[in-house]
Amino acid sequence: MRRRLADDCPVGVQVGLDRLGTDLADVEWVVVDLETTGLGAQAGITEIGAVRVRGGRVLDEFHTMVDPGHPIPPRITALTGIADSMVVGAPSMEQMWVSFAQWAGLAPASTTVEVDAGLDRATDPAASSSPGRAPSPTPPPSAGSSTPPKPPVLVAHNAAFDMGFLRRAARAAGHKWPKLQVVDTLALARLVLPRPMVANHRLGTLAAHFATSHQASHRALGDARTTSEVLTALVGLMAPVGVSTLEDLTTLGAPVPTSRRRRVSMAENLPRTFGTYRFVDEAGVPLYIGSATNIRSRVRSYFTASETRAKVRRMLDLATDVKVEVTSTLLEARVAELRDIHDLRPLFNSASTRQDAQYWVVLEAGRLKVTPLVDSVAAADALGPFGTHAHADRAKDALSATYASSDAGPLLRAGVVDPLSALAALGALRGEHREVLESVCTLMGKASDRQDFEGAARWREALSAYVAGVGKRALIRPVASAGTLVWAFHRDEGGWTLHRSSWGRLTGTVLTPPKSSPMPWVEALIGEEPLPEPDVFLARTTREETSLLAGSLLSPGARLVHWGGPVPWAFPVASPLGGTALLGRLGVAQERPWSRREGLDRQGSRGRG
C-alpha cells in the first residue's frame, strides 16, 4: 500500500519531507451526516449530526431533528427508525441550515442567527447529545488579528450526497453556498484500502475494519461520530507515505500514470450516443461491461483522476481495446448491459452478476418459508423477489414475529403461523403491511427500552427487509405478469419512443418519425405475438431487467399505451407504486377506447380486453 500511495502522490513532491501547507493535525474538520426521506430532488432532511474535530480530538457536536416538510416513507422509518412523530415541531431545513452554518463557522460574522428551541446544540451543555462532556468551542480570533479564521473542512462519507442536501438547505435559507473544502471519506477509503483489503467501502464495513468505538447506525450523530473515527484512521494510514498536510490529502490520487493516460486514445473514435461498451484484453475476452448515454465521454472518464476504483484501474492495465454496441435509447443500453453481464460474466464487473438469484417468502402448510423459485400462479401470494437468501430470511423474521403461533422458541424460528392468523399472514405477503409495521416497531421499541440496541437493530433490519420485499413485489409483479406491455415517451425533437415487453422482458423498441401518427407502429407492437407464458415466474427474464422496465414505466413522461396483463389491483402505501397515477392508467388501458384525436399524450389505450 505504501508504494501504491507513493506512486499516486503529486509529481514534484518529495514524499516523507516536511513542506509548506496546513498540517493535518491543525486542520479543523466538521464531520457531518444527514438522514433523509430519500435520494431524489424532492426528498428532505430528517436529521443532521455533526462533529467538530481537530488532531483526533472531538471539540464539539451538533444535532437536531429536521422537519422534511412531507411525510416520512415507511421504508425510511424501517431503515433509520425515524418516524413522523419524531420531527413534529422540529426546525425546517432553512432553520437547520442557519443554525448549523453559525455553529460550523460557515456563516458570515454579521449574520444574526436565531436558534430554534428544537435544536439539540452541543454548544449548550444542557442540550448536548453527549452528557457529561463539556464542549470546547473554537476560540475567536484575537482582537488585533487581521487574518480571518480559516473555515473548517467539511467531511462526509459519500460527500456528494450530503453536500447536495446542504446546498439546497442553504439556498432555501437565502444563503450563498460558502467556498470551502470538502473531504470524502468514501473516496479516501477507496484509494487507501482497495479491495480485497476490505469487502466494500460502506461506513459500517470501514468501522468494523478499524474497530471504531462507534458503529454505523443510520442515525445522523452516531454516523458522524463513526465517520470522524474512520477519517482519523485513514489519515493515520497515509502518514507513513508522507501525506501530512491538507494539500497532500486533497491532491492525493489526482495524477494518472502516464501509461494509462496514453491509452485514452482507445476512446477517441467511439460514438457519442447511447449504447454499451466492453473493455477487452488481447484475446478479445470481455473484462468489463457498461452502458452510457454518451459512450465516448464515459469511456474517456476511466482514464482520468476521477476513476478511483482499484479494481477498475487493474482492469484498465489489462485492456487493449473497447468494443461498443450502439442503441437508440438508454433503456435498451441498460438492458443490453444486464444481458451481456449475465451471459459473458466479465471478470471485473461486480454489480448485476447474480441476476438469476431470486428468493421468495411463501406460506406453505401453515409455515413461512424461503424458496428460490415460485410458479406464475403462486407468485400472487409470495413476497419478493429478494436478491439473497439472507435478505429474504430477515423479511420472514418480521412476518414470523407478527403471525407466529409462539412469540419465542422453535416455532418462531421455524415460521409456524398461528392458524387464526394465516389469512392475515397471506395478506402481509401480498403487501398488506400495517400489522407487520406495528408489530415489529413495538418489538424494536421494547428492545431499545431495555437497552438491547443490537436486538433493536436486528428488528429494524427485519422490518427494512420486509418493506423492501413489499416494494419489489409491487414493482416487479405487474410488469412480469403482463404478456404484452407497451409504453411511450414523447421526444423533444418530435416523434415517440415506444417500448414493448413480454412477461418482464424487453422485446422491442421503436422510434417513430416526427410529425406523423405513431399508431401504425403502436398497432404493430401490440399485434406481435407475446412470448410463451412461463410456468416459473420470471423464467423469461431476470429480476433486474424487470425492475429496470418498471422504473422506466414509472419515470416522468411515461405514457401507458397497452396493458395485456391481469386486472390491476390496489397497491399498499409502502409500495413504490403507491400514490402514482399508474394504476389509473392501467385501468384506462383496459376500459377506454383509443381516440386518435386525443393522442398518446392523453394516455389513451388500444386495450384489447
Binning pLDDT at 50, 70 and 90, where does residue 313 land?
confident
| Whether residue 234 is found in the same domain as residue 270 | no
Q: Decide if 414 is inside a domain.
A: yes
Phi first, then psi: what are they for 589, rounded to 5°? -65, -30
Nearest by Cα to 373 from 533, 543, 569, 550 = 543
Please check the confidence at residue 7 and state whether its pLDDT lies above 50. no
Q: Are residues 266 and 227 in the same domain?
A: no
Q: How far apart are CA 425 and CA 366, in angstroms?
A: 10
Residue that finishes a domain, picked among 416, 451, 474: 474
* pLDDT tens sequence across 113-170: 333 333 343 333 333 333 333 333 333 333 333 344 577 899 999 999 999 999 999 9
Task: Identify which has the larger pLDDT, 497 or 131.
Answer: 497
In the predicted model, what is the mean pLDDT of the chain? 80
Q: Confidence band (pLDDT; 50, 70, 90) for 419?
A: confident
- At 102 the pLDDT is 92
Residue range 109-116: mean pLDDT, rounded: 35
- CATH number of the domain encompassing residue 227: 3.30.420.10
Q: Is residue 608 part of a domain?
A: no
Regarding beta strands 484-490 and 559-564, do their DSSP bridges make them parallel or antiparallel, or are they unpaired? antiparallel
Give the contacts of 419 (CB within 8 A, at least 6 positions apart).
366, 405
Question: What amino acid occupies position 392?
Answer: A
Lowest mean pLDDT among 35-49, 111-125, 313-327, 493-507: 111-125
Domain end, chosen from 319, 344, 369, is at 344
- Categorize the per-residue pLDDT at 566 as very low, low, confident or very high, splitting at 50, 70 and 90: confident
The verdict on 56 and 164 lying in the same domain is yes
Q: Provide the pLDDT for residue 597.
A: 32
- Segment 180-187 shows an average pLDDT of 91
Give the pLDDT confidence score for residue 415 in this predicted structure. 67
Mean pLDDT score, 69-90 = 92
Residue 354 located in a structural domain: no
| DSSP H helices in 20-106 | 74-80, 93-104
| Domain assignment present for 228 | yes
| pLDDT for residue 541 is more than 50 | yes
Q: Write down the pLDDT at residue 568.
A: 58
Q: What's the domain range around 293?
A: 258-344
Kindly state whether residues 239 and 317 are assigned to the same domain.
Answer: no
Cα 364 from Cα 414, distance rounded (Å): 12
Mean pLDDT, to the nearest integer, of 384-397? 94
- 401 is a domain residue: yes
**Domain total of the chain:** 4
Higher pLDDT: 238 or 9? It is 238
* Whole-angstrom Cα Rg for the chain: 27
- Domain CATH for 303: 3.40.1440.10
Are 453 and 506 part of one and the same domain? no
DSSP string, 315-334: HHHH--EEEEEE-SSHHHHH
The pLDDT value recorded for residue 300 is 83
Instruction: Give residue 249's pLDDT.
Output: 78
User: Cell digits for 206?
Assistant: 470501514
Quick check: is 225 in a domain? yes
Residues in the chain: 609
Beta strands (DSSP E) in 12-99 are 28-36, 45-54, 57-65
Asked whether residue 608 carries a pLDDT value surpassing 80, the answer given is: no
Q: Which residue from 246, 229, 231, 233 is spatially nearest to 181, judged by alpha carbons?
A: 246
Q: What is the pLDDT of residues 422-451, one digit of tens each?
A: 899 999 999 888 899 999 999 988 888 888
- b/e per residue, 531-550, with b = 16+ CB within 10 A? beebeebbbbbbbbbbbbbb
**Pair 502, 525: CB distance under 8 Å:** no
Task: Give yes or no: residues 423 and 557 share one domain.
Answer: no
- The band of 336, judged by pLDDT with boundaries at 50, 70 and 90, is very high
Distance CA 520, CA 498 (A): 12
* 312 and 392 fall within a common domain: no
- In contact, 352 and 300? CB cutoff 8 Å: no
Residues 327 and 380 in one domain: no
Question: Residue 521 pLDDT > 80, yes or no?
Answer: yes
Report yes or no on 351 lying in a domain.
Answer: no
Q: What is the DSSP string of 532-566?
A: PPPSBTTTTS-HHHHHHHHHHHHSTT-EEEEEESS
Residue 390, pLDDT above cutoff 60: yes
User: What is the C-alpha separation between 400 and 387, in angstroms, rounded?
Assistant: 20
Q: Are residues 302 and 236 in the same domain?
A: no
Residue where one domain finishes, among candidates 236, 251, 266 = 251
Above 80 in pLDDT, residue 331? Answer: yes
Instruction: Confirm whether 209 is domain-assigned.
Output: yes
Q: Residue 529: helix, strand or coil by DSSP? A: coil
- When pLDDT is cut at 50, 70 and 90, the band that residue 455 belongs to is confident
Count CB atoms within 10 A of the CB of residue 174: 9
Distance CA 138, CA 62 (A): 14
- Say if residue 457 is in the same domain as residue 500: no
SS3 content of the chain, % helix, strand, coil (to 5): 40, 20, 40
Amino acid 39: pLDDT: 84
Q: How confident is the model at residue 588 (pLDDT cuts 50, 70, 90)?
A: very low
Contact criterion met (CB below 8 Å) for 99 and 73: no
- Domain match, 340 and 395 both: no
pTM above 0.75, yes or no: no
Are residues 539 and 411 located together in one domain of the fold?
Answer: no
Element (H, E) at 442: helix 434-449
At residue 405, the pLDDT reads 66
Please work out, in degrees rounded to the nearest 5, the angle formed at the alpha carbon of residue 262 by the alpha carbons of 261 and 266.
100
What digits encode the pLDDT tens for the residues 545-564? 999 999 999 888 999 999 88
User: How far is CA 509 from its chain centroid?
Assistant: 28
Q: What percent of the chain has pLDDT over 70?
A: 78
pLDDT above 60: residue 246: yes
